[in-house]
Structure 1
Amino acid sequence: MLRALGQVPTAIRGLDVLRRAGLAPVTRPDQSLRSLLVLRKLGPIAGAARVAARRDHRAVGLVDELGPLTYRQIDTRSNALARAFMANGLGAGSVIALLARDHRGAVDTMVAAGKLGARILLMNTGFAKRQLVDVARREKISAVVHDQEFTELIDELDGDLPRFLAWVDEEHAEGGDGLVDRHGNGRGSGRVDGTTTIEELIAGSDDRPLADPPSPGGLVLLTSGTTGTPKGAPRTVRSPLAAAQFLDRIPLRTGECTVMAAPLFHGTGLSQFLLSFALGSTVVLRRRFDPEATVRAIQDNHATALVLVPTMLRRIVDLGKETLGQYDTSSLRIIFCAGSALPPELGNRATEAFGDVIHNLYGSTEVAVATVATPDDWRRAPGTVGRAPVGCRVALFDDDGNRITAPHVVGRVFVGSILSFEGYTDGRHKETIDGLLSSGDLGHFDDGGLLFIDGRNDDMIVSGGENVFPGEVENLLLEYDGVMEAAVIGVPDDDYGQRLAAYVVTRPGIKVDGEELKSFVKGNLARFKVPRDVVFVDELPRNATGKLLRDRLAHG
């Protein structure tokens, strides 16, 4: 009882956040109640799509390379696809794996799965064959929906597994002209190499509404798999107040437009895609990221928000003032950046290019939202990940489980959120303290209570008995003229246990001297934080979402 009473102020504050965003209009409580019931029955993906269709079925919900789709078209297309899935033996409790880039076929599949009560498993488009096979077996998938480009990868799976094509490359389409009809259906796309396409299923099925499933199917996000087979993290959204965790510190509003550069299989892209659908906003998708095309999409669609990961933001900013100045991006109010650390140097350059629009979110596949830095936070303390929004709690603990409250003291980061997962699909879980879940990161608060992430627990380097966090050294290296990217790792050393090695990517046409780099670090940080080795490389190894793969860096 006391715990429930303690949650009342948070609930009230969360409702006020939703009201300001336009999700809970005071004048239409009946509409809010109906929306809540739909989300309860269908889950966050199909539920958000249906709510948006009821709010304004004529509104454009999605724009991809084939053009726009209204929310009504998304609703009817997913009805037809859900019925086609049922005809192929899928239903409530099925697990549908989706291995696709960002386009209407991927969205159709996610919404249709929700209407069936099936679980959708979002596969990483950067998977190796062994990762794909291991995940598919562990999650006991019932069918796979994939883009034509991943056919060879999919061939490694059980031959009896139902499979459907979500996107067909133009040169492989049988009689396809690349156009769509007035319902948003692709014309002329049938079977490719004997595999049925999503468009064929939609065109051949009844698009009337379906009965609601017995329970929401849910979805499974996968961890990045940087240390082995990716783990499955089921995500269940039980409360409409979950949206308030984003909207409290990110001023998205109903009926706007978001350019989605981050992939939908990643928590960053998926969360903002769902939130945009819930707001009845337009989502602009492209199958592959291109920095200049992304800026053009902001202009052409008068987008108010851009969702991406730091490596994408760097490529956009690196276009330079001359190229960026060719496009009108004045409609942009929000750059939502998440997925990995946003270096101060990069955030400051983006602020200079686009104004005070940086919103830096910190979270993970497991804990979901932890903190968000607003533009004011960033101006005050570049590099911060901000504060916990409504409904979230963040605390630091030492190795003995004692709470750390003093500023500038590094501790392990623990997070509490209604969006946190409840354990991996293989039965394992993260460490918890006082109901808070470990993020696996180390961080500290400044004097004003803003959180900074110092690095991963397992990334910390112990050199000569001193603890070094790579991020601090990397951020400093990025400030050196001519350095475009930098990564610091520990390598074995007979005298110090570990020594620091810096891997550096320089800007085209600029030569950087390794000894001068070391002197630069020595002039700004403690001696034990100076890299003993500087290795110049053409690029740093990263996964499909831009996360640095430190284990692939080998000093040689």
Structure 2
Amino acid sequence: MILTHAKKAVSKAASKATVAVQSAAVLYRAGLADRPDDSIRSLLAVHKVGPFAGVISIGAHRNPNAVAIVDELGELTYGQVERRSNALARAWSQRGIGAGTVVAALCRDHRGLVTTMAATGKLGARLLLLNTGFAKPQLADVARREQVSLLVYDEEFTELLDAVDPDVERCLAWVDTERPADSLESLVAATDGAPVPAPERPGGFILLTSGTTGTPKGAPREKTSPLSSAQLLDRVPLRRDYPMHMAAPMFHGTGLSQVLLAFALGNKVVLRRRFDPEEALRVVAEHRCAVLVVVPTMLQRIIDLGPEVLGKYDTSSLRIIFAAGSAIPRDVVTRTMDIFGDVLYNLYGSTEVAVATVATPEDLRIDPSTAGKPPVGCQVRLYDNNDAEVTEPGSVGRIFVGSGLSFSGYTDGRNKDIIDGLLSTGDVGHFDENGLLFVDGRDDDMIVSGGENVYPLEVENLLADREDVLEAAVVGVPDEEFGQRLKAFVVLADGAEAEAEDIKAYVKANLARYKVPRDVEFLDELPRNATGKLLRDKLTG
């Protein structure tokens, strides 16, 4: 028994060492670890103030005059962002904000949010990133639960603050009118931007789950090993001198992770407060962006502009279109690569597990619906309902993930299911014979209709393949005879016409009889949140 445990311990240690070596090699290829002195300085900076403030400080040391961000107000260099965040940290410190304080940001993508992210790290505060699509009740519930002391917000969200405890301090990050004396920009302008003392421990982020079924839960992101960055670079060839257009919101894990990597590489990041598909193309063309970061609904809106609009902009500089946040319809995948070339990378993960798999263009050419393969440092396994591992290709199981970026539990003390040290994503899926992962649906989306297990996602993907269908959602609704039945909600493409019977006949011709929706309802659009995630609870039977 003792010998067996010893062998397992040795094997585990050897596996960790192998992953560490592989991760270091990935970082070297990307340009993050090419000089030993630079690497040591980076490690120390991240250790002191956390990853976000750390990479800004390193960028300011390495090349202070390099452009870090571009927003509607113009350019800011790494040196300027460093001094701005020093000034803001000092101003807030004088107001009692420090280690352990929770600062919330209700902001769109702009310089004020970037400055806030860096300043909270330098103070040792925790930054709660709020969804800009929040309604008053959600904002009030989350602010109360997370014990927010300071709320940083854009002027357009002022009315939402009525629901927040008046004892919570406020700070305007973006104003469309005259700048008040206590705004973020005024504090920065009036305060010394010299370096501030390092906190006892670095600050961290609190990301929120999508909240598609209720009040979003808080998922802390504390300090992690810099080697974990390899998970996002192993299968996505992000490199130095790759200007990025961050179209996705930075309050979401997708935006946060990618802008963090861009800053770590010393690259320029172009931000826009609101997404507009044609403006995104213009930004890529003007700044010769090599990277475009989007959520899938943004990608669909871009390719739906049509050849005439798409042809107006030179997007040949694009090397990576990075998408995450929800499943990408098959036709959107193929159309994107037909228009822009083989540059699409689709990340599958969650707020809790961070990275699970990445589908490269090569993977997506094999099958547009694949979620790809795990990068270095990630484990993905499938388990049945008895917690036994599922290894047979094509067999469906619950998806569990392990990595250095997985969270350690929600802020309310709860956690996801854990098996063998791996965390549940809440999804079910299968591997094919090539080791590619396919997500078949949410574990709790499965319905039992007439004794048959049905995952609505399979039907959704089939309907989305139709040229006359822009997007589709399929849900289970109660049925007296069969227990549950499927209902489809369909958004037709511009100018297309179809009847409910056409939709049913199409499914019947391609899938088993029990997967045919009994009801079909046509909508102008599907309900989604700010990151493009489908709000299934808004679809009523």
TM-score range, shorter chain: over 0.9
Aligned residue among 29, 32, 40 for 1:20: 29
After TM superposition, give the deviation of residue 134 of structure 1 in Å.
1.1
Q: Is the 8 A contact 2:330 2:464 kept in 1?
A: no
Q: Alignment length, in residue pairs? A: 532
Secondary structure at 1:234 match in 2: strand
- Tell me, in whole angstroms, the C-alpha distance in 2 between the residues paired with 1:156 and 1:527: 49
Pair 1:363 & 2:349 matched:
yes
Pair 1:31 & 2:38 matched:
yes
After TM superposition, give the deviation of residue 108 of structure 1 in Å.
0.8
Aligned residue among 464, 469, 480 for 1:483: 469
- Tell me, in whole angstroms, the C-alpha distance in 2 between the residues paired with 1:230 and 1:40: 29
Aligned to 2:370: 384
Aligned to 2:88: 81
Alignment map for 1:303-382 (pairs within 5 Å): 303-382=289-368
TM (normalized to structure 1)?
0.94
Aligned residue among 251, 273, 291 for 1:287: 273
Secondary structure at 2:50 match in 1: helix
Q: Give the letter aligned to residue 367 of structure 2.
A: A
After TM superposition, give the deviation of residue 481 of structure 1 in Å.
2.5
Aligned to 1:238: 224
Secondary structure at 1:155 match in 2: helix
CA displacement 1:114-150 (0-9 Å, x = unmatched): 1111110101111111111111111111111000111
Aligned to 1:168: 175
Q: Give the letter aligned to residue 37 of structure 1.
A: L
CA displacement 1:327-385 (0-9 Å, x = unmatched): 00001011111100112111001011100011010000000000001111111121111
Secondary structure at 2:20 match in 1: helix
Q: Is the 8 A contact 2:203 2:222 kept in 1?
A: no
Aligned residue among 139, 158, 166 for 1:159: 166
Higher mean C-alpha deviation, range 392-401 or range 229-238: 229-238
Q: Is the 8 A contact 2:472 2:489 kept in 1?
A: yes
Pair 1:190 & 2:180 matched:
yes
Aligned to 1:109: 116
After TM superposition, give the deviation of residue 190 of structure 1 in Å.
2.7
Q: Give the letter aligned to residue 5 of structure 1.
A: A
Aligned residue among 61, 67, 76 for 2:68: 61
Aligned to 2:150: 143
Q: Is the 8 A contact 2:112 2:173 kept in 1?
A: yes
After TM superposition, give the deviation of residue 451 of structure 1 in Å.
0.1
Aligned to 2:202: 216
Pair 1:123 & 2:130 matched:
yes
Pair 1:442 & 2:392 matched:
no
After TM superposition, give the deviation of residue 551 of structure 1 in Å.
1.1
Distance 1:481 1:255, change over 3 A: closer
Q: Is the 8 A contact 1:413 1:442 kept in 2?
A: yes
After TM superposition, give the deviation of residue 160 of structure 1 in Å.
2.3
Alignment map for 1:254-269 (pairs within 5 Å): 254-269=240-255
- Tell me, in whole angstroms, the C-alpha distance in 2 between the residues paired with 1:74 and 1:6: 39
* Ranges of 4+ aligned residues in structure 1 off by more than 4 Å: none
Aligned to 1:48: 55
- Tell me, in whole angstroms, the C-alpha distance in 2 between the residues paired with 1:522 and 1:55: 61
Secondary structure at 2:375 match in 1: coil
Q: Give the letter aligned to residue 180 of structure 2.
A: G
- Tell me, in whole angstroms, the C-alpha distance in 2 between the residues paired with 1:86 and 1:403: 50
Q: Is the 8 A contact 1:259 1:306 kept in 2?
A: yes
Q: Give the letter aligned to residue 52 of structure 1.
A: G
Aligned to 2:533: 547
Q: Is the 8 A contact 1:237 1:419 kept in 2?
A: no
After TM superposition, give the deviation of residue 554 of structure 1 in Å.
1.0
- Tell me, in whole angstroms, the C-alpha distance in 1 between the residues paired with 2:336 and 2:73: 30
Q: Is the 8 A contact 2:246 2:271 kept in 1?
A: yes
- Tell me, in whole angstroms, the C-alpha distance in 2 between the residues paired with 1:383 and 1:64: 34
- Tell me, in whole angstroms, the C-alpha distance in 2 between the residues paired with 1:541 and 1:244: 35
After TM superposition, give the deviation of residue 529 of structure 1 in Å.
0.9
Q: Is the 8 A contact 1:49 1:74 kept in 2?
A: yes
Q: Is the 8 A contact 2:206 2:219 kept in 1?
A: yes
TM (normalized to structure 2)?
0.97
Aligned to 1:95: 102
CA displacement 1:50-92 (0-9 Å, x = unmatched): 1111121111110111111110010011111111111222112
Secondary structure at 1:299 match in 2: helix
Higher mean C-alpha deviation, range 386-395 or range 132-141: 132-141
Higher mean C-alpha deviation, range 397-406 or range 79-88: 79-88
Aligned residue among 18, 22, 32 for 1:9: 18
Q: Which 5+ residue runs of structure 2 have no aligned equivalent?
A: 1-8
Q: Which 5+ residue runs of structure 1 have no aligned equivalent?
A: 174-188
Higher mean C-alpha deviation, range 502-511 or range 98-107: 502-511
Secondary structure at 1:244 match in 2: helix
After TM superposition, give the deviation of residue 485 of structure 1 in Å.
1.1
Aligned residue among 57, 77, 91 for 1:70: 77
Q: Give the letter aligned to residue 302 of structure 1.
A: R
Quick one: percent identity of the two aligned structures? 62
- Tell me, in whole angstroms, the C-alpha distance in 2 between the residues paired with 1:19 and 1:197: 41
Q: Give the letter aligned to residue 98 of structure 2.
A: G
Aligned to 2:141: 134
